[in-house]
Chains A and B, each alone.
Chain A
């Protein structure tokens, strides 16, 4: 049976959370997490990072952007025809 330290858990965290790590690694990570509150906090925070950043950086598309893009393309096409 393998034993993992905090560094090993952190380095392989994406594979462990995606269930793509080998079963013995996932088992060893589970054993480590039972005894390591710092890693438990880390894993929780890591898992929530993408959704926090997505919520914070919600992007509102400017109104009429599609119209402005089409206008821009028409102008550029006309300019290239004339030059």
Chain B
């Protein structure tokens, strides 16, 4: 039996001698191509290489779409946002210096496009989610009686999924933008605070503070929703 040490060549099953020989010949004559880095693709795309641009689209379109949808709250808007974000990036490829990573840059452009789309669609009378922040009395003890924290964690079993999706999407829409972007990047896209900080162009401590405040608002909202259902 022949086992090649590189993980890319590692056989998934024990091969016969003849199969091994064929496998080895194939590997030697057609070694796997190294996966190009984003920087290499950007450099090629800058010279007009459409395949390189296509590869960048393939790599990033899903993440860009998810971010666009979570910030804008609208599926049709999200698709337009992704297209416009890639278009902007294409137009500015010549000026991209590589100080930031391509993904960080694309995320920032997508997020700004999504915020503009969301602002254009949001009703002026939409209630801000700040109304759901916890409240305390003068001694510093909890005073909110309209939020059922005990049942908040069970909200998924109390509310049917379609309604819950609608309510939660609307709640994320109503988070003030500076909190929504930090919350979406860190808690939904699961980026680290330093990575989100690069996209938002603020420091990591400010990101953590915004995420914390957004969680408090979302927590209050979910508690109120669960409480209203169980009342």
Q: Give chain A's interface residues, CB within 8 Å of chain B.
A: 5-8, 10, 13-14, 38-39, 41-42, 44-46, 48-50, 52-57, 59, 61-62, 65-66, 68-70, 72-74, 76-77
Contact = CB atoms under 8 A, between A and B. Distances in A.
A52 B87 contact: no
Nearest to B89: A73
A59 B65 contact: yes
B186 to A, nearest CB: 8
A45 B62 CA distance: 30
Nearest to A76: B87
A6 B149 contact: no
Interface in B127-186: 134, 136, 139-142, 149-150, 152-153, 155-156, 161, 164-165, 168-169, 172
Interface of B is mostly: helix
A10 B152 contact: no
B134 A5 contact: no
Nearest to A4: B140
A61 B65 contact: yes
Interface of B: 50, 53-54, 57-58, 61-62, 65-66, 69-70, 75, 79, 82-83, 86-87, 90, 134, 136, 139-142, 149-150, 152-153, 155-156, 161, 164-165, 168-169, 172, 187-188, 190, 208-209, 211-212, 215-216, 218-219, 222-223
Interface of A is mostly: helix
Given A41-B149, A57-B169, A73-B90, A8 B140 contact: yes
Nearest to B65: A61
A68 B169 contact: no
